Structure 1
Amino acid sequence: MTSQAPGAGGLAAFRAARDFLLAHREDYDSAYAGFHWPELTEFNWALEWFDHLGADPDSSGRTALWIVEQDGSERRQTFAQLSARSNQVANWLRGRGVTRGDRIVLMLGNQVELWETLLAAIKLGAVVIPATTLLAPADLRDRITRGQARYVVVGAADTDKFADVPGEYDRIAVGAPVAGWASYTDAAQAPAAFVPDGVTRASDPLLLYFTSGTTAAPKLVEHTHASYPAGHLSTMYWIGLTPGDVHLNISSPGWAKHAWSNVFAPWNAGATVLIYNYSRFDAAALLAQIDRCGVDSFCAPPTVWRMLIQADLTVVRNPPCKIVGAGEPLNPEVIEQVEKAWGVRIRDGFGQTETTVQIANSPGQLVKPGSMGRPVPGYHVTLVDVTTGKPAQEGEICLDLVQRPLGLMVGYRDDAVRNAEAMAGGYYHTGDVASRDADGYITYIGRADDVFKASDYRISPFELESVLIEHPAVAEAAVVPSPDAIRLAVPKAYVVLTDGHAPDRDTALSILRHARQQLAPYKRIRRLEFAELPKTISGKIRRVELRRREEELHPLGATAATAAAVAGSGAAVREYRDEEFPELRE
């Protein structure tokens, strides 16, 4: 059985591929062997698929979007309501001059208008530049300029950020009236019937994402009307979503993961997108909403999972039956604690802004501890040795461009050099390193530029961090190389403590002892410092900053006595070293 007949129309081909994955959602071998990406020439996901859900009697009255606020108030929109409302917004935007190909900066929180505007833009054939509300004016100038934006749709509270952002762009405010800005509320007066001005080619640009930039300035990632809407059939398959599921994903608007699991994957399945808004993370409050709302599937980044396991998970009387983690690899300790409380194993998945999910533990399959699973249907993954450039059992995660997956980006917009690097040698290069076992399961090692050598042994920061987080005092950890005159480099851990633990010698000793008991001698943590971890605004740890700090703190040739004086402003840095603890050698 295959997922589509060659030459089928856009909607028919998409529907066939989607239904094939739903029918084989727990049969990985059949799904991987039989799935083919839909062949799409003309395709507009909002007009053809979402509006279909809004008109189909089986789904039109089903809740598409359910937003719960911290104060307990909530708002629900059915597929039919969102279909009609997005038509109004599309008509209103068209009246303001939005035409096919125009670029719109969309900077809203988790509010209904975000989804209305996104659907409307898709229907119009406009290009959306998602933006988090955390952006500063300098970031916005970059998006307006490099993104060549002609329109911005922004919450009223954030309009002042654009006061010093030059450019000829139409300004639309959502919420309270703002002088000099068009009011989004006027869209309610537009007609509810929408007629497109022509066909949408599947290859037309739809999304331009500015990456979070963990090592360099943000890249401008281009996706089409096919690569994300239809490409996220792979993400739907990984999560295991089915029609009518209530799906909760913890992700902020403006980042690719929000589109992954708060738009395309759940709505490809016909599931409900549940949002819980809060000003400050509260694990107990989140768990209460999971219980009250009857969440079927739940996705959260490792940072959230690490905070959740410090709360009482058992308060959820009927835990979600499908739980996944994404954004960064999950530590085994987290997976074990959640499974103990809920009887469900978190299934890891790997993907990027540049792609949909590539590798994952799919429903119904054996989950090997530490592994992020196998390539999902539609993805052909090769591990390429970083030295020889040839396929290997350990190497950089790459995608074979001869069998190019639909979920892969077009490329980096207006950046020929980065495109050439990313697509070199017939592969798309992810920049991440992993190993593959005899059963085809892939285990993450780290970013290619994060893996380092100590005493000529290769060290995976992720492996060491996974051991550290098993200690009850450790909430988060980042391991980087610290220059050393004898070993060239030694592993150093930057540690964020859980509540109730003091950043003192006793805690450092306890953590170092734990690591010493769990790790081979060449992998041992040799230095430790308690500190907050530098992160991107999307929440990813910026190890590059910590590496630079170590190079300043420990320039090769410097003595330990002078190291603290070299760092930062010259203030003493309390760095704990294993050699200062005779207890470790007892």
Structure 2
Amino acid sequence: MVHFLPRQRSRDEKGAGVFGEATASTPGETFLAARDYLLRHREDYEVARRGFSWPRFEEFNWALEWFDTIAERRPDGLALWIVEDGGGERKITFAEMTRRSNQVANWLRGLGVARGDRLILMLGNQVELWETILAAMKLGAVIIPATPLLGSADLRDRVDRGRARHVVTTSDDAAKFADVPGDYTRIAVGSTVEGWHSYGDSAGSDEDFTPDATTRADEPMLLYFTSGTTAKPKLVQHTHISYPVGHLSTMYWIGLEPGDVHLNISSPGWAKHAWSNVFAPWNAEATVFIYNYSRFDPAALLEQMQRCAITSFCAPPTVWRMLIQADLGSLSTPPVKVVGAGEPLNPEIIEQVRRAWGVTIRDGFGQTETSVLVANTPGQQVRPGSMGRALPGFEVALLDPATGEEADEGEICLALQPRPVGLMTGYADDTERTDEVTRGGHYHTGDVGSRDADGYITYVGRTDDVFKASDYRISPFELESVLLEHDAVAEAAVVPAPDELRLSVPKAYVVLAAGHEPDERTAESILRFARENLAPYKRVRRLEFYELPKTISGKIRRVELRGRESDLHGSGERARGEHRDDDFPGLRS
């Protein structure tokens, strides 16, 4: 049970009702009215876009005023279903999740976790992850999601710049914090770790929870570290409405409904995990389904999708490319809602899935800074190559970078009057960067698109040098910084090299320091060094010794290197002198 403090309805909540409905009296009811409007018009884009407006609050706590009300209405409804590839599974109802998150919140409060405190959450796809997310929201703590792939250097940065006061991680990963200084509470999930609090002790806490105060809607709730091109990762700040409420758009894009069983292939620590493994499905009162595998096996995934009757499926193009190489026909009851995000989808993939399953994969576009803002929605025509149209609640403009005027092709921007709910408040502790991306009355995504006469937008590319490999965002600056620590490297530039499986992989163009030879031994040494000092998803997989093209002011022309890689890929040739990790037995993976 949750005990609520008395609260005064805000002016917005006492207004003239939402979407033609009777006036809603609480934030939860207002949220429900907005949600139900999108559900009713889930296949009628024009009506949904014309009639929807964001619910706006002065006070709101999604975990308390939305999630826990689902538990009251549907106590036996399935909130989370986790299947392990080695056998075994867990099913958690909404009521059980409410009870456990209350216990965890009370226990964390006893350890000193308070409203506004920043908490690093570094867990895999395990029940404790979702329990802690809800518990932190109930307490008003600020979650810093972190992938378990991070090493000590990344964690030092997150503790330092993130000003983290608490850390929750697995017992196995606790050792990564041995070299991370700071006066932060250490909490380990799993076996006992000396000097760390045991998460299992939370099971003895009270199952009733009373918040210490009402939660302001504009209070920070999430801080995501996201890669940049010429600086350290940015801290993207979201509030108690920008992601929980903002992901009504993501729910609408996927087409989720109450009772759906939704499988999303994404790792904890990344924004897409919060999009489709927390907020979108639970906004819809759907089940979050997880298949935990040690190594991706398309046939095994399809088998579980069949056995567990998955109705909705989201995966990055890398996974879709692997799936179409398997026997899609082995799935006799395929999901009726299938979407892809992270990279543009190849038309061949869409067609093969359509032939096998009778459904069309629908693209969507968003960022860590936003919820889904452009997408192909249910019931609408999907145009080859297009990622769809602006979603309800978002006014999308394509602005010419040179003039700032609307154009048929330009930077994808969001109008800020009115400001869409599904947009970050800004970059924490960096007003200069926040002002830069919100200049001129628009939020600037840094991505370029083209739009046809019917409003369909096709993705063109990034305005900066960040790229994706296997659906992970890669910052050249971060990889180059590590490469430059090797004694043999004088200069380095990292660009994406086209790859049939991963779409692209990081390739380093290297200028050697004096005294080093451009041979296989040097290449292997540099690639091994990068492998040992970078998270696996950032691995440099190709290397070429090359004189870097530069501007007259001395800046590296990465655009020229990207063009060279594209030309090589188009010709089917491998650059002479290029070294790949697969060339060296000790580096193959």
If the TM-score is normalised by the length of the shorter chain, which range does it land in? 0.7 to 0.9
1:88 aligns with 2:91: no
1:250 aligns with 2:253: no
Cα offset for 1:327? Answer: 1.4
Query: Which residue of 2 is the match for residue 159 of structure 1?
Result: 174
Cα offset for 1:217? Answer: 2.1
2:443 to 415, 428, 432: 428
Cα offset for 1:418? Answer: 1.1
Q: Deviations over 1:122-158 (max 9, x none)?
A: 0011110000000011111111111111100010000
Query: Which residue of 2 is the match for residue 304 of structure 1?
Result: 319
Distance 2:546 2:410 in 1: 27
Q: Would you say the 8 A contact 1:359–1:376 is kept in 2?
A: yes
Cα offset for 1:553? Answer: 6.1
How has the CA–CA distance of structure 1 residues 111 and 422 changed in structure 2, closer, same or farther, with 3 Å as cutoff? Answer: same
Query: Which residue of 2 is the match for residue 49 of structure 1?
Result: 66
SS for the counterpart of 1:25 is: coil
The letter of the residue matching 1:171 is R
SS for the counterpart of 2:338 is: strand
Query: Which residue of 2 is the match for residue 519 of structure 1?
Result: none
2:226 to 197, 201, 211: 211
Cα offset for 1:372? Answer: 0.4
Query: Which residue of 1 is the match for residue 357 of structure 2?
Result: 342
* Structure 1 residues 72-151: aligned runs within 5 Å: 72-151=87-166
How has the CA–CA distance of structure 1 residues 3 and 414 changed in structure 2, closer, same or farther, with 3 Å as cutoff? Answer: farther
Distance 2:404 2:229 in 1: 25
Query: Which residue of 1 is the match for residue 38 of structure 2?
Result: 21
Q: Deviations over 1:261-281 (max 9, x none)?
A: 000000000000000001111
Distance 2:260 2:211 in 1: 31
How has the CA–CA distance of structure 1 residues 413 and 264 changed in structure 2, closer, same or farther, with 3 Å as cutoff? Answer: same
Cα offset for 1:539? Answer: 5.5
1:189 to 192, 201, 204: 204
Q: TM-score scaled to structure 2, two decimals?
A: 0.79
1:373 aligns with 2:388: yes
How has the CA–CA distance of structure 1 residues 257 and 411 changed in structure 2, closer, same or farther, with 3 Å as cutoff? Answer: same
Cα offset for 1:251? Answer: 0.4
Q: Would you say the 8 A contact 1:255–1:538 is kept in 2?
A: no
Query: Which residue of 2 is the match for residue 469 of structure 1?
Result: none
Query: Which residue of 2 is the match for residue 268 of structure 1?
Result: 283
Q: Deviations over 1:382-422 (max 9, x none)?
A: 00011111111110000001121101000000112211211
Distance 2:26 2:245 in 1: 14
* Structure 1 residues 543-558: aligned runs within 5 Å: 552=547
How has the CA–CA distance of structure 1 residues 549 and 444 changed in structure 2, closer, same or farther, with 3 Å as cutoff? Answer: farther
How has the CA–CA distance of structure 1 residues 380 and 63 changed in structure 2, closer, same or farther, with 3 Å as cutoff? Answer: same
SS for the counterpart of 2:155 is: helix
1:34 to 51, 57, 60: 51
How has the CA–CA distance of structure 1 residues 181 and 394 changed in structure 2, closer, same or farther, with 3 Å as cutoff? Answer: same
Unaligned runs of 5+ in 1: 452-460, 466-474, 481-491, 500-530, 558-566, 568-573, 582-586
Q: Would you say the 8 A contact 1:7–1:39 is kept in 2?
A: no
SS for the counterpart of 1:402 is: coil
How has the CA–CA distance of structure 1 residues 3 and 244 changed in structure 2, closer, same or farther, with 3 Å as cutoff? Answer: farther
Q: TM-score scaled to structure 1, two decimals?
A: 0.79
Distance 1:288 1:3 in 2: 44
Q: Would you say the 8 A contact 1:214–1:541 is kept in 2?
A: no
SS for the counterpart of 1:18 is: helix
Unaligned runs of 5+ in 2: 1-17, 477-494, 503-526, 553-560, 562-566, 575-589
* Structure 1 residues 109-508: aligned runs within 5 Å: 109-213=124-228, 216-449=231-464, 494-496=497-499
How has the CA–CA distance of structure 1 residues 438 and 291 changed in structure 2, closer, same or farther, with 3 Å as cutoff? Answer: same
The letter of the residue matching 2:79 is A
Cα offset for 1:554? Answer: 6.5
Cα offset for 1:334? Answer: 1.5
SS for the counterpart of 1:226 is: coil
Q: Deviations over 1:257-304 (max 9, x none)?
A: 000000000000000000000111111111111111100000011111
Q: Once superposed, what is the RMSD of the aligned Cα atoms?
A: 3.3
Q: Deviations over 1:439-468 (max 9, x none)?
A: 1111111111369xxxxxxxxx99xx9xxx
Distance 1:28 1:147 in 2: 40
How has the CA–CA distance of structure 1 residues 421 and 5 changed in structure 2, closer, same or farther, with 3 Å as cutoff? Answer: farther
Q: Would you say the 8 A contact 1:4–1:17 is kept in 2?
A: no
Q: Would you say the 8 A contact 1:294–1:318 is kept in 2?
A: yes
How has the CA–CA distance of structure 1 residues 30 and 551 changed in structure 2, closer, same or farther, with 3 Å as cutoff? Answer: farther
Q: Would you say the 8 A contact 1:332–1:370 is kept in 2?
A: yes
Distance 2:170 2:21 in 1: 42
Distance 2:59 2:332 in 1: 46
How has the CA–CA distance of structure 1 residues 216 and 320 changed in structure 2, closer, same or farther, with 3 Å as cutoff? Answer: farther
Distance 2:215 2:189 in 1: 27
Distance 1:96 1:140 in 2: 22
Distance 1:395 1:282 in 2: 39
Q: Deviations over 1:188-213 (max 9, x none)?
A: 00010001111001110000000144
SS for the counterpart of 2:203 is: helix
Identity fraction in percent:
63
Q: Would you say the 8 A contact 1:37–1:405 is kept in 2?
A: yes
Distance 1:430 1:177 in 2: 44
Cα offset for 1:541? Answer: 10
Distance 2:218 2:106 in 1: 23
Q: Would you say the 8 A contact 1:214–1:540 is kept in 2?
A: no
How has the CA–CA distance of structure 1 residues 3 and 211 changed in structure 2, closer, same or farther, with 3 Å as cutoff? Answer: farther
